[in-house]
Chains A and B, each alone.
Chain A
Amino acid sequence: MVQDKPGVLNKLAGMVRRRGFNISSLTVAHSEQNNYSRMTFVVEGDEATINQVINQLYKIIEVVKVSDITKENVVIRELALIKVATTPTNRPEIFQLVEVFRSNILDVSSDSVIIEVTGDENKVDSLLAILEPFGIKEVMRTGRVGLIRGISNSI
């Protein structure tokens, strides 16, 4: 949880970069509380590294609360928009796959469709793998967002 102030994302990204940590995914948007945003980001590293990341994050004045949710009982989701090349012949097959993955078709044009998929990282990766042979033209992924189940983790 961070205060909604100009430059917070810059401070956070700068800290992570100069301390040599590696972010593989980052999302940020308004939270349930006014003037606060919730950030979810994925950092790879051992426990000592993660503890350092948490301690360094707390040194940023606007950072109010940091939770390492790796080992928590969490719901994690990611949204992806995938533009796939289509031909009149393979379109029904793609539509079927979309259904199997409980994803949606957002746009259909003469030679491509845009698919919206929500799920954990594996689900998005699997759909991408299956669509790969058809020709993926563009992908936009939001990165992972997560919340701990049950208890309130607000500030």
Chain B
Amino acid sequence: MKLTGAQIVCESLLLEGVDVVFGIPGGAILPLYQTMSSYPDLKHILTRHEEGASMAADGYARSTGKVGVCMATSGPGATNLVTGIATAQMDSVPMVAITGQVGRAALGKDAFQETDISGITLPITKHSYLVMKPEDIAPAIKEAFYIANTGRPGPVLIDIPKDVFTEETEFIYPETLDLPGYKPVIDGDQFQVEKANKLIAEAERPVILAGHGVIISRAYNELLELAEKAQIPVITTLLGRSSFPDAHILFAGMPGMHGMAYASLAIDEADLVIGLGMRFDDRITGNVDLFAPNAKIIHVDIDPAEIDKNVKTDVPIIGDLARVLRQINKIVKPKTHTKWLKRVEKLKIDHPSLRIRETDKLLPQQVVRDLCEITDGKSIVVTGVGQHQMWAAQHYAAKEPNLFLTSGGLGSMGYEVPAALGAQIGRPDKVVWSVAGDGGFQMTMSELATIVENNLPVKFAIFNNGYLGMVHQWQDIFYGKDYYATSYTGNPDFVKLAEAFGILGIRVTEKGQSLDAIRQAMDHDGPVVVDFVLAKEENVYPMIPAGQSTADLMEEKFDDMEVSKRGYIS
């Protein structure tokens, strides 16, 4: 049967199991939109900005494990997608972005709203297509979904000129893929697995460093089994938060720049680091020469290019994490590390990184704790980037897997609003809390309208200190308190702003109001914005300055603590 290019796009998306797309129409993509109107099974969410569309697709993808789909028109529509695409690329999120392009005859002529979006996104996509013939659409979509959500997931862009949407051709959805250069390794090499097993058997002070790969590969049970069987403490990266239960006796925190001090110190003392689905990011390692100085390293990752990229590995295993862990678990011998586990417990006692000081002030750390208490750690938390993100990562103890969504690699402020929108669409069964900074929130708050329009009950906790808090903190510590361009003195009244969108707004200024406000938000049948007007000048600790090591660790000091160790903040 002959179909138009636009019909082929819609049919192909349905065959790939797509039920929702996020986007904004415009001239070049209009033929596709006009066709989508007769495909009610493809629900379209009309965002207010294309960055909202790409980040909503990201939130949808992370919360469901399915490919998130976003659409935009040529030129500015396409370029507005870019930050969301880059966010997905850095954090390995499966996404397909479809952009309209000027007609083929106008390509390369600097036509109205023409931009080379496949060129622009070259370094921030896993793959991209410029489809020049309608018969190439179906194979491109088939390949795009396969590439986006296999191996190390990532975004794929498909750019389609306007007249390709309207030309007709025979629609045949390919059954096979022709990708001779793309064959992700799934099973770990048995020889390497046995070498890893030997290192695990020999280790006296092992730690597991669990990353986003655990969540992507849904390797929660396999991780739990390995940790329990061989009695290995589990440390998670920022994107690995909620991959292992916080309440588990073997959980030993998050390491790195703003991780728990005991996690970083445990890595210092470890004689074996088992990196699982993570990439030894500089926020974790600090100075790589001083990272895990006493440890051999096992690195399991599906992306061969991650092996030896940042940290030299003793045993590399390439493969899908859940499968590799099953291979390891099959041969690993039960072990105990009583002395080592006691040592890790001692580090936790000596370095109470999660302790909150007694004060009447409304502290951001306490707000996260309150949120965790009222939600019972079972809500999805979507954060922005900065101080509030770190406090959320430290203090939100999720009780179920994959409840913590954050832009870790790219660090995209503004992620918290659209990604929460996308997560709520992906997981209507869950309460979604957007833990937002007042800075990031204002970058994407126009999506509140999208949230209202689609009756999404997203709850927002704005961590409002009137600062670009993390930058302010760096100015405080590293730039001689020269607080230039980090203070928002003209912030809107967020309660009135919420009301203007038709959303319930609540303001919290006192410590005692926090729990009630969160409870009220949870009970409210619809979206809520809670404006937490916080104690200003609060810094995130612990802190290891960029490129340094635990020798430069800064921690908060408590009066009743025996303080002798390094770098306490008074």
Partner of B305, one of A10, A18, A55, A61: A55
**Roughly how many angstroms separate A55 CA and B303 CA in the complex, as a whole number?**
9
- Say whether B307 contacts A64, CB under 8 Å: no
Partner of A55, one of B118, B130, B180, B307: B307
B253 to chain A, nearest CB (A): 31
Given A10-B119, A14-B122, also A61-B304 (CB < 8 A): no
**Roughly how many angstroms separate A61 CA and B155 CA in the complex, as a whole number?**
13
Bitwise interface map of A from 59 to 103 toward B, beta carbon under 8 Å scored 1, else 0: 111111100000000000000000000000000000000000000
**Roughly how many angstroms separate A64 CA and B178 CA in the complex, as a whole number?**
12
Is A118 part of the binding interface, using a Cβ–Cβ cutoff of 8 Å?
Answer: no
**Roughly how many angstroms separate A55 CA and B185 CA in the complex, as a whole number?**
13
**Roughly how many angstroms separate A51 CA and B312 CA in the complex, as a whole number?**
12
**Roughly how many angstroms separate A18 CA and B125 CA in the complex, as a whole number?**
14
- Say whether A18 contacts B181, CB under 8 Å: no
Residue ID in chain B nearest A59 by CB atoms? B305
- Say whether B305 contacts A52, CB under 8 Å: yes
Tell me which residues across on chain B come within 8 A of A48, comparing CB atoms: 308
**Roughly how many angstroms separate A6 CA and B147 CA in the complex, as a whole number?**
18
Q: How many B residues touch the partner, as a band? A: 10 to 19
Segment 9-62 of A: residues with Cβ below 8 Å from B: 10-11, 14-15, 18, 48, 51-52, 55-56, 58-62
Tell me which residues across on chain A come within 8 A of B349, comparing CB atoms: none
Is B127 part of the binding interface, using a Cβ–Cβ cutoff of 8 Å?
Answer: yes
Is A145 part of the binding interface, using a Cβ–Cβ cutoff of 8 Å?
Answer: no
**Roughly how many angstroms separate A3 CA and B123 CA in the complex, as a whole number?**
19
Tell me which residues across on chain A come within 8 A of B182, comparing CB atoms: 61
A48 to chain B, nearest CB (A): 6
A-B contact count (CB 8 A): 44
- Say whether A52 contacts B309, CB under 8 Å: yes
**Roughly how many angstroms separate A56 CA and B308 CA in the complex, as a whole number?**
12
- Say whether A55 contacts B304, CB under 8 Å: yes
- Say whether A2 contacts B181, CB under 8 Å: yes
Is B179 part of the binding interface, using a Cβ–Cβ cutoff of 8 Å?
Answer: yes
**Roughly how many angstroms separate A6 CA and B118 CA in the complex, as a whole number?**
11
- Say whether A61 contacts B181, CB under 8 Å: yes
- Say whether B118 contacts A7, CB under 8 Å: yes
- Say whether B147 contacts A10, CB under 8 Å: no
**Roughly how many angstroms separate A155 CA and B180 CA in the complex, as a whole number?**
9
- Say whether A64 contacts B180, CB under 8 Å: yes
Tell me which residues across on chain A come within 8 A of B309, comparing CB atoms: 52, 55
- Say whether A18 contacts B123, CB under 8 Å: yes
Other 12 A-B pairs with CB < 8 A, given A3-B180, A60-B181 = A7-B122, A10-B122, A14-B122, A15-B123, A18-B123, A52-B305, A52-B308, A52-B309, A58-B181, A61-B127, A61-B181, A63-B181
What is B's interface to A at a CB cutoff of 8 Å?
118-119, 122-123, 126-128, 130, 147, 179-182, 303-305, 307-309
What is A's interface to B at a CB cutoff of 8 Å?
2-3, 6-7, 10-11, 14-15, 18, 48, 51-52, 55-56, 58-65, 155
Can you show 21 pairs from A to B with CB atoms below 8 A apart? Answer: A2-B181, A6-B130, A7-B122, A7-B128, A7-B130, A10-B122, A11-B122, A15-B123, A18-B123, A48-B308, A52-B305, A52-B308, A58-B181, A58-B305, A59-B126, A59-B303, A59-B305, A61-B126, A63-B181, A64-B181, A65-B181
